[in-house]
């Protein structure tokens, strides 16, 4: 039963990662479109989907505690794990703020360039976050596999 839950959790995380990847591509495409009401409408749809998907992915990652498998073996890495968690929370808040900015402004054309820059920066930061998270996990796995005779 426990193995089934681990497998299901892993499959769900993979699905969320795939959806996030697709949404990021859609977001990139929309940032290249002319800044009109139609672009704004679709931008909000994609941002809504990201705002729905990211918390589900985060909650699933925290099901047994965020990066528990790393901290079980390397409790002294708590600071690095907490830093990642804060970064993740900050990314989510920034996305909510950007969504609100796009949704509340009367004229999207007036704020389009600023929003484009901020969304690009957000995407770059999200990619960097995922790299840091993966690097920490891979380092822990490599150290664990490398230990022993």
Domain assignment present for residue 7? The answer is no
Looking at residues 111-140, what average pLDDT do you find?
Answer: 93
- Note whether residue 100 is domain-resident: yes
- Mean pLDDT of all residues in 102-130: 90
> Are the beta carbons of 19 and 53 closer than 8 angstroms?
yes
- How far apart CA 52 and CA 19 sit, in angstroms, is 11
DSSP 1: -
- Average pLDDT of the segment spanning 73-87: 94
Torsion of CA 31, 55, 57, 47, to 10 degrees: -20
Assess if residue 5 is contained within a domain.
no
Distance CA 43, CA 20 (A): 14
Per the prediction, the chain carries an average pLDDT of 89
- Domains: count for the chain: 1
Q: What is the pLDDT of residue 3?
A: 60
114, pLDDT greater than 60: yes
pLDDT of 97 above 80: yes
Tokens matching residue 136: 């920490």
């Amino acid at each position: 039963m426990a193995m089934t839950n681990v497998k299901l959790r892993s499959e769900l995380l993979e699905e969320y990662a795939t959806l996030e990847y697709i949404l990021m591509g859609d977001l990139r495409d929309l940032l290249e479109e002319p800044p009109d009401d139609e672009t704004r409408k679709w931008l909000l749809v994609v941002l809504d989907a990201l705002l729905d998907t990211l918390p589900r992915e985060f909650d699933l990652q925290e099901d047994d505690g965020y990066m528990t498998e790393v901290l079980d073996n390397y409790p002294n890495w708590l600071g690095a794990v907490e830093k990642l968690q804060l970064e993740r929370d900050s990314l989510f808040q920034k996305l909510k703020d950007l969504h609100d900015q796009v949704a509340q402004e009367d004229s999207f054309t007036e704020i389009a360039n600023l929003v484009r820059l901020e969304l690009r920066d957000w995407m770059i930061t999200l990619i960097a976050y995922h790299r840091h998270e993966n690097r920490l996990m891979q380092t822990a796995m490599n150290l664990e596999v490398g230990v022993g005779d």
